[in-house]
Structure formats: C-alpha cells, structure tokens
A and B are shown apart, each in its own frame.
Chain A
C-alpha cells in the first residue's frame, strides 16, 4: 500500500456527543476505532455521516484507489480537533492492505461489494475473497468486537416461507445460488456463509445486515422489482406487489446500529422502510415526478411463464441464452410478498429517520437533476 494513501484528518468536535442512554446500549465508546469499507460509496458515505452524527470520533474509511473521496471530504471538511477520520486507500484483495485497514479496529462495517458484476468469478472474488481477507486480518489483530457484513435481500429464495407471504429474517436463503443466474446473488450468499463460518469456527462476533432495494440521491435507477427496460419499452413486472425499499439514510442508520448495539451477535437484520409502495404506485409517482414513458404491464402469470420458457430454452440450447431469467429469479423478484422490519425495530431500536414522502421527494429530485445533467 502506498503510504501516502493514508490521510488522517483531525477536526474540532462540533458534532454531538453520544447521548447518555445510547452509550449504555453501545458496544464501543466514542473513541474506539470503526473501520468502514466502501466508505466512499453510495451507502458507505452515509454510514460515515451517521457515525459522526452519533458522536463517534475515530473512523477509518477504506476505499479503492480510484474512489472519489469528495463525499468523505464534504462530510469532514471545514472543522476542527478531537475527531480523527482516516482515509485509507487500498485493495481488499491484498492481505497487506486488509491488515493495515483492520489494525486496532473495534468494529468493522463491511460495505464494499461487487455490485453490478456480470461475471460469477469477478463478483465472487470482489465479495467473498475480499471478505475472507478482512476476516483473516481481524483475527490477526485480535481486537475486533463486531464485524458487520452488508448483504442483500437477493439472498432469500422467497420460497417455502414459514409465514405465508411474509418475508423476514427466518426465511430460507437460496440453497443453490449458482442456479439463480445472478452473480451478485451467488457472491452475497457465499459471503454470508463465510462470515457465519468464521463466527462459528473462530468466534468472530458478527452481524449480517440485509437491506432491501436502497434508493436515494446517488442511485436513481428504477428497481428491477418494478420492471425492466428492454428493446425500448419498459416492462412493468411488479404490478400490485409491494416493493421492498429503504431510503439510503435509513439504511445507513440500520448498518451503523448493527455495528454498535450490544447483544445482537450472530443475528441477521433485514432493512426495509415503513409504508412501502406498490410497484404500480411507485411507477406512477416516478412518471409524474421524473418523466413520462411508455410501459407495458406484464401480469404475474405471464412473467412466470416467460421466465420458465427462458429457463427451459437456456437448458435446451446449452446456454446459447444465459439463464438470467428463470423461476428462481421470478420468485425472488416478482412474486407477491410482504415484508417486515419488526426485528430491526425491536432489537436495534431502529426507526426510519426519513419518512417515505420526504425520501421520495429527494429521490425524484435527484432523478430529475440527473436527467437534466
């Protein structure tokens, strides 16, 4: 690692100190070091802000060498003494970089991920191998008190759920993620397995956080659960389904709490906001607030049949069309499902800071800005 890649900044403590009631429930004190991987990313930068807002004064932000550090600069710029925010640039595929990053860290919030990778090996390498390197480095230093891995709703199979249509933390994850045709699902499932394995084998205290679709300024895409654009037309696949969303600031709060709250080691938390819209409502609001476009509603039985046919053709043709659409994918994304955040609220004391109306306003505004940029 380039020694110049580590930039420490000290700031005057203008932010609020940790509230007394919070301090008792938190695992660490305000001066204990917290490592945030993927800190310059869409969610990571909000997690850094959230921790600073909670009064934590010793943060280490890990980012790729090519990352834009403007978000971290914006958060920490302008002030003062008493706070230390280190920016460490490196590659989590390097064990040495992981060792430097995890040194003295009491809590690791691991957000870095291979989002959008289309290849299984690349997604796996940038999620699982990197996570293993971090875990090994934590073992080496022996000072870790909590490892939080940020997973995804995508790991759930959304079949054989114990409580009907309700998807919560007790639901089964994909047993054969390699058959989903989705590298991200495969990588995230294996990443969760690995963290649990290290927890069991080496006693690493961990928490798994599984956010729903995270939206907000910085991610202006329409969720795939609502539909997909293909050949110039938007296929609306969600219909009356509830869309599991979490606004980026609310998600960041959940991740921070997962790293801080006492007594939740080994737990899994789904992160989903209150007052979720239906796919139809989301699409209508999007069209009203951002731009109008033609969309074609595809009923659930039709989307299921199409996924089935695609899957069969892919098998028959020995992969001439890759199996990106299949029944497992349909169950995970387009089946009518209800969601719960009860565990998140009761065990972590989480509540969405940004209500849906305000979150949508900010999101649509960002979409409009992006469109006109």
Chain B
C-alpha cells in the first residue's frame, strides 16, 4: 500500500483526491497547506488520515511514500526538493517548475536518490490521447511526424480564476515569469514535446494582449500567443494559445509522411486523416463519408466508456497516477519521460524570454512592430541555449 501525501489544498488538490479514491493500492495519509483552514476542509471532505500546516511535519509524521505537489508553481521547486531529500517520490502539478534549470536539478536529485517523479500533464493520458499514442507508435503516420499543430485555448469570461487574476494586480499568477501563459500552456506544449526528437528545437514566439483585455485596461497579461517550433530540417510545429478565438479548442493535429491524426480533447474524438487521395470526384464523396463514419465511431466509443463508468472529467489524471504508482512499485520507467519534462520547460523558457524582449503596446502597421519584425527575423530562429 503506497502512502500518499498532498501539499497544497486548493482546487486541483480536489481533483487529485477525487481520483485517488478510485486508485487501488494507495492511502492518503496526510494533506498539508500553510493555511490550516484549507487543509482542514480537504480533510473533512475526503478520506484522509491527518492534516498539517507544515510540510516538514507531513513528511516526518505521516511519512508518505509519494507526495503530490499541488501548490502554486513558484513554490514547486522548493517543495519538490524537500520531498525528494526526504525520500519521497513526487508528482508535481503543471507547470513542473518555473525554469528548466530547476527541472534539471530536481531530475538529477531524483536520479541520485533512486526516486521517481512526474508532472501533471494528465491531458496526455485521457482515453483519446492514449488511442492517438497507440496509433502513432504502431506507425500510422508512416514515419516521423512532419508537422504538428497544438491549440490550447482558454475562455477568460467563463473562468472565475481569470476574474480573480484580472481583478487583482497582486495575484500570484502575475508574479510568474510567463504570467497567465506559464500556468496554462504547458499542456499544449508538452503534446508537441512528446514527438520532438531534437534536444534544442528552434522556437519563435509572438504574443500580445488581446483587444478584449486591453479594453479592460489590462496591459501586463499576454493572452494571445503564437509559436513556431522547428527541428533543423525535420519536424515543425505550431502552438496557438488564445483567449479570443471561438470555438475555444483544445486540439492536436499531427501529420506524418503517409497519414495524419486530429485529436479533439473537448469532444474526445480522434479522426484519422488518410494520406492518399481518391481519384477524381471520389475525393469529394468518400472522405466525407469516412469522416461521418469516424465521428459515429467516436460517439459509440465515448458512449461505451461512459456506460463503463470510466469517462470522468479527470480520467487522464487517474490513469497517470496509476501509471506513476506502478512505475514506483515495479521499478519501471515513469510514464512521462524526463526528457519530455525538460524539453517542455526549455521551450517555455524560450517563449517567455522572447516575449520579455518583445516591444509592448504595438499595433499592426505601427513602426515599432515593423522594426521589431525586422530585428527578429534572423535572430528569432536561434536555438535555445
């Protein structure tokens, strides 16, 4: 029986505990928050043995084997380090750390101590994402990916979190190097990182504050981001983060030399894109029919999973936790390769560095934008350090 501890008793900790109740072979021995009221409310609502306000106390009294770190990102590194030094495996919510260097140090520490770690990229373990991975691994694309597109959108007006962030100039998210982006985009970036092979792809980022946010007087938050990622002469990828485009999609498209795939996370659908074309007018008739058939197939699959009672909103989280615990118990590789964690962090570091260097408050056609374009053209395709 694995003993589990949770640090940070906010909203995402609820999701962890909800799914941990469904995971066999584990027991939550303690939850911890520096605000004792928050720790107590979690303790009251879930089957948890004890609650603490001090992390050291959780580690020494409850003695967990694994600690889930669900605190704000700026605290991840220090908490994760302490947990590893205390001999605990760690599950760190996304983003893993603020900087790649911190991620590197944690991975080195875990390796030194013979411990395991993972990051909360649970979207990559939803049913549909697992089906896509299986197809890619079995060669459906016909070779290495040629191009990928990852869309990760966010509706500001539907989120109470966004309301709190925008209304509070002292909100902790504003203190992150990448602000709002840092707290959200790692899911979409990690999808791309999973299929990249180069350690240092070129990254070119452009971000701005949407007209909607500007109309509210907001100037500090970048909520529109476009990124081009490319490996020298091989795979390329686009990443799009938008608060304004509708529908507000969470999609991943991957194209190989033979076929392609489209994953829609919101609809939980996976569509195969057949590479070869049909002759003449048949191309206008057979592919739409095939699409209809595939959508119907997705519907049947989704209904089947729902009826089997495994279609929870956070089904990916349960799968990731189970895979991570299995890797601990059986001594196998962690479900998310460390290389992927580092690459995601590295791409994010580069994006934020480029956004920092980008002139603000420019409008299309403005001389400042043109000057920025000119200066960026050759240098923006630099490799990350």
Residues of A within 8 A of B (CB): 2, 64-67, 91, 94, 116-122, 124-125, 128-129, 132, 178, 186, 190, 316-320
**Are A178 and B45 touching (Cβ within 8 A)?**
yes
Q: Name A's interface SS.
A: loop
Write out, one digit per residue, whether chain B residues 13-30 have a CB within 8 A of any chain A CB (1) or not (0): 110001001100000000
Q: B10 near A: Cβ within 8 Å?
A: yes
Q: B37 near A: Cβ within 8 Å?
A: yes
Q: How far is the CA of A129 from the CA of B9 in the complex (A)?
A: 13
**Are B13 and A121 touching (Cβ within 8 A)?**
yes
Q: How far is the CA of A64 from the CA of B312 in the complex (A)?
A: 35
Q: B168 near A: Cβ within 8 Å?
A: yes
Interface size (B, Cβ < 8 Å)?
Answer: 27
A64 surroundings in chain B (CB, below 8 A):
167-168
- CB contact list, B133-173 vs A, under 8 A: 160, 163, 166-170
Q: B332 near A: Cβ within 8 Å?
A: no
Give the residue of A119, A178, A318 whose beta carbon is less than 8 angstroms from that of B44.
A178
- Decide: A65 near B311, CB < 8 A? Known: A121-B41, A121-B42: no
Q: B246 near A: Cβ within 8 Å?
A: no
The 6 A-B pairs of least Cβ separation, nearest first, read A66-B167, A317-B309, A178-B45, A119-B11, A124-B41, A121-B10
- Shortest beta-carbon distance, B126 to chain A, in Å? 14
- Decide: A120 near B309, CB < 8 A? Known: A64-B167, A66-B163, A66-B166: no
Q: B38 near A: Cβ within 8 Å?
A: yes
**Are B309 and A65 touching (Cβ within 8 A)?**
no
Q: B306 near A: Cβ within 8 Å?
A: yes
Give the residue of A66, A120, A124, A319 whose beta carbon is less than 8 angstroms from that of B168.
A66
**Are A320 and B13 touching (Cβ within 8 A)?**
no
- Decide: A65 near B18, CB < 8 A? Known: A121-B9, A121-B41: no
B169 surroundings in chain A (CB, below 8 A):
2, 65
Q: B35 near A: Cβ within 8 Å?
A: yes
**Are B160 and A121 touching (Cβ within 8 A)?**
no
**Are B41 and A320 touching (Cβ within 8 A)?**
no
Give the residue of B18, B35, B168, B311 whose beta carbon is less than 8 angstroms from that of A129.
B35
**Are A120 and B41 touching (Cβ within 8 A)?**
yes
- Shortest beta-carbon distance, A313 to chain B, in Å? 9
Given contacts A124-B41, A319-B18, A320-B311, 19 further A-B contacts (CB under 8 A): A64-B167, A64-B168, A65-B167, A91-B170, A116-B160, A119-B14, A120-B14, A121-B11, A121-B13, A121-B42, A124-B37, A125-B10, A125-B35, A128-B37, A128-B41, A129-B38, A318-B21, A319-B312, A320-B312
**Minimal Cβ-Cβ distance residue in B for A125:** B38
**Are A318 and B22 touching (Cβ within 8 A)?**
yes
**Are B309 and A121 touching (Cβ within 8 A)?**
no
Q: How far is the CA of A2 from the CA of B41 in the complex (A)?
A: 31
Q: How far is the CA of A118 from the CA of B159 in the complex (A)?
A: 10
**Minimal Cβ-Cβ distance residue in B for A179:** B45
Q: How far is the CA of A91 from the CA of B169 in the complex (A)?
A: 11
Q: How far is the CA of A178 from the CA of B18 in the complex (A)?
A: 13
A320 surroundings in chain B (CB, below 8 A):
306, 309-312
10 A-B residue pairs with Cβ-Cβ distance under 8 Å, sorted by A, are A66-B163, A66-B168, A118-B160, A119-B11, A121-B38, A121-B42, A132-B37, A190-B41, A318-B309, A319-B312
Q: How far is the CA of A120 from the CA of B168 in the complex (A)?
A: 21
A186 surroundings in chain B (CB, below 8 A):
41, 45
**Minimal Cβ-Cβ distance residue in B for A190:** B41
Q: How far is the CA of A121 from the CA of B169 in the complex (A)?
A: 22
B310 surroundings in chain A (CB, below 8 A):
320
- Decide: A122 near B35, CB < 8 A? Known: A66-B166, A117-B160, A320-B309: no
B37 surroundings in chain A (CB, below 8 A):
124, 128-129, 132
- CB contact list, B157-203 vs A, under 8 A: 160, 163, 166-170
**Minimal Cβ-Cβ distance residue in A for B311:** A320
- Shortest beta-carbon distance, A186 to chain B, in Å? 8
Q: How far is the CA of A122 from the CA of B37 in the complex (A)?
A: 12
